Amino acid sequence: MSWIRARTDEQKETRINEIVSATARLFEDQKFEEITFAAIAREANFTRSNLYKYFGSKEEIFLEFLIHDMMIWGQDLEESLDFNKEWSIPDFADFWVETMLRHQRMLRLLSILNSFLEKNVTYERLLEFKSSLLQGLGSLNSMLQKVFPSLGEEKVTHFINLQSTMSSGLFQM
């Protein structure tokens, strides 16, 4: 690939998407520990030095990758969720698990979030990730309050915290 510097925000976003896509392809067949920064650069047709212009480590790339997958899962959840339905707890639990299982790559990433992904990243990148995560959780909280208005924000937040801990922990097993 003849390298042309990305100058606009749109071009930079395209490059970031290329890097995330290359990482996703590698993650299909390899464990996180087996994937190197150099392998990601090769897969994306970047040099390592050009890859460093966008990310400081493979963990930073994976955090971006996780946010991307969580957004897709959130969209799937919102599109699949019948807001007019009177949900029983067992029916909602089945729906929730089915939706999560459609996004197993996200579950794989969540299962290594604390042990690998939040390490070897800059404070700024971690802050960006946490801000994006909080924004997504806020949207999820609002969505679930529409389904179960009697629960209120605090109980919905508690549910989200419990389910994310349980699903990422159980998925590893």
Determine the average pLDDT of the residues in 79-108. 93
The better pLDDT of the pair 128, 165 is held by 128
Which residues make Cβ contacts (< 8 Å) with residue 16, sequence separation at least 6? 54, 64
Return the pLDDT at 7. Answer: 76
Q: Are 60 and 37 in contact (CB under 8 A)?
A: no
Structure-token pair, residue 171: 């998925």
pLDDT, tens digit, 9 for 90 and up, residues 108-146: 999 899 889 999 999 999 999 999 999 999 999 999 999
Name the residue with tokens 């029983």: 88
CA distances from 15 to 10, 73, 128, 143 (A): 9, 23, 18, 32
Give the Cα separation of 96 and 90 in Å (integer): 10
In degrees to the nearest 10, what's the CA dihedral of 140, 73, 135, 17?
Answer: -170
Average per-residue pLDDT in the chain? Answer: 91
**Cα 35 from chain centroid?**
18
Residue 62 pLDDT more than 90? yes
Give the Cα separation of 3 and 101 in Å (integer): 39
Return the pLDDT at 147. Answer: 92
Which residues make Cβ contacts (< 8 Å) with residue 111, sequence separation at least 6? 168, 169, 171, 172
Dmax of the chain from CA atoms? 58
Determine the average pLDDT of the residues in 138-156. 93
Return the pLDDT at 115. Answer: 87
Q: Are 107 and 100 in contact (CB under 8 A)?
A: yes
Determine the average pLDDT of the residues in 64-80. 95
pLDDT, tens digit, 9 for 90 and up, residues 12-52: 899 999 999 999 999 999 999 999 999 999 999 999 999 99
Residue 82 pLDDT more than 90? yes
Question: Which pTM does this prediction carry?
Answer: 0.88
